[in-house]
């Protein structure tokens, strides 16, 4: 669960969440994503970014007001 302060949803916080998600995806699926990107002629960084954004939908957020 990710705890956020509702008053602090600025760009820096969003980038931090995306960076955390990217690290998680790369740790769990990095090898498979690299193989998939090479086989299909895709950019690995763009693919990682798309998967990280998709991964954010799986997080459970708790907001404090």
**Could you report the per-residue pLDDT of 31-50, keeping only the tens digit for each?**
999 999 999 999 999 999 99
Read off the tokens for 61. 């957020």
Are 6 and 41 in contact, with CB atoms under 8 Å apart? no
pTM equals: 0.75
pLDDT value, residue 11: 85
Measured between alpha carbons, how far is 23 from 30 in angstroms, rounded to an integer? 9
CA dihedral sign, ordered 16, 53, 58, 11: positive
d(CA 29, CA 5): 30
- For the residues 21-29, what does the mean pLDDT come to? 94
**pLDDT of residue 6 exceeding 60:** no
Give the Cα separation of 63 and 21 in Å (integer).
18
């Amino acid at each position: 669960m990710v705890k956020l302060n509702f008053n602090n949803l600025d760009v820096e916080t969003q980038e931090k969440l995306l960076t955390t998600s990217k690290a998680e995806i790369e740790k769990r699926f990095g090898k498979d994503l690299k193989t998939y990107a090479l086989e299909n002629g895709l950019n690995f960084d763009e693919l990682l970014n798309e998967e990280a954004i998709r991964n954010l939908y799986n997080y459970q957020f708790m907001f404090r007001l």
